[in-house]
Amino acid sequence: HPSFPKTSANNNITPPSRIIRKTIMSSSDWCLIESDPGVFTELIQKIGVKGVQVEEIFALDAQDLKRLAPVYGLIFLFKWQSEKKQRKIDHNPPNELFFAKQVVTNACATQAILSVLMNSPLKEETSSVPGVSEIQLGDTLSSLKEFTQEFDPELKGMTLGESESIRNAHNSFARPEPFVMERTHAKEDDECFHFIAYIPFEGRLYELDGLQPGPILLEENGVSTDNWLDKVVPHVQQRIQSYASHEIKFNLMAVCHDREQTLTQQRDDLVQKMQETTDESSKAVLETEIHDIETEIKQEQAKKRRWHQENVRRRHNYVPFLINLLKILASKGELEPMIEQAKQKKERSEQ
């Protein structure tokens, strides 16, 4: 269930001051999560969104991106550094555009995902099967969107930080920490990575960065769901090139419709078309296409199983296993020789 501030008996919402106090208290409770499509896809599902998955992009090519259509937005990870160049902030964005300031530490990954989801085309909640081009936000995000509709970006970010259900979904990917480590403040030369989102919205192209004062307007008009990938690629390339001389650590992911659902719909359409076709040569062509799509469906199913297995391993605490393994090796007199071999190997590598 959503965990947003509820209205009181006199229909007054929770005072912003109380939201601010709660957010400050809980800001350190968000963990770092891995930039991985399997992690992000399961995170989206845990929040309650249906019909969406995340795919990693290895080639920044509009045609390559279009094979994942429909694509709702892109998530870009980069090494953060202060920008000297002034960005074009849209100070009068459309009322329906959801933009939240990042006021919670470590929440930028989830916030970038929500920036895409909250601004995507929605399926009517009464439908049991999401359409190919629409998604279902679910109760948590639908309530958040409705509750924060009139809030400014900072208060939206504070409300997001107070959401117990979103924070729990995010923190479910925390790595096991069997040892308590002393917290240290980030140094000036530490590597700090940040997530931002790119989305089309009402004929415009936006970059949504929670560290900016507002949404960044990249293209003012002429943007549609059909051409937005062609228009966004140069902007992503430009950002990468601005760091290319000294930084190569980037990651780009696409938030798209569930691939298995999309492919299944395509297959069913082809099957129906084949049943209506009387020409044998056309049937043969359709049969080949159906076979190829069924192969892709099986690949998607195998990928989802692999993602699930990897996420289980991410959460598993291997320390008890390792301690028992060391005990067994020590009891057999094999531990000390292995340590000596490791020391010798290290010394040889350093020579």
The catalytic residue positions are 108, 194
Cis bond leading into 153, ω under 30°?
Answer: no
222: left (phi over 0), alpha (psi -120 to 50) or beta: left
Cβ–Cβ under 8 Å, residues 231 and 205: yes
The residue written with tokens 């040892």 in the block is: 179
Helix 108-117 × helix 153-162 angle, to 10°:
110
Alpha-carbon gap, residue 104 to 111, rounded angstroms: 10
Cβ–Cβ under 8 Å, residues 100 and 153: yes
Angle at 103 between CA 109 and CA 71, to 5 degrees: 30
Alpha-carbon gap, residue 80 to 59, rounded angstroms: 22
Angle at 254 between CA 252 and CA 255, to 5 degrees: 140
Cβ–Cβ under 8 Å, residues 287 and 119: no
Residues 6+ apart with CB under 8 A from 319: 176, 178
Q: What is 257-298 written as a DSSP string?
A: E-HHHHHHHHHHHHHHHHHH---HHHHHHHHHHHHHHHHHHH
Cβ–Cβ under 8 Å, residues 42 and 169: no
CA nearest to 41, candidates 347, 344, 317, 305: 305
Element (H, E) at 199: strand 193-201
Cβ–Cβ under 8 Å, residues 37 and 307: yes
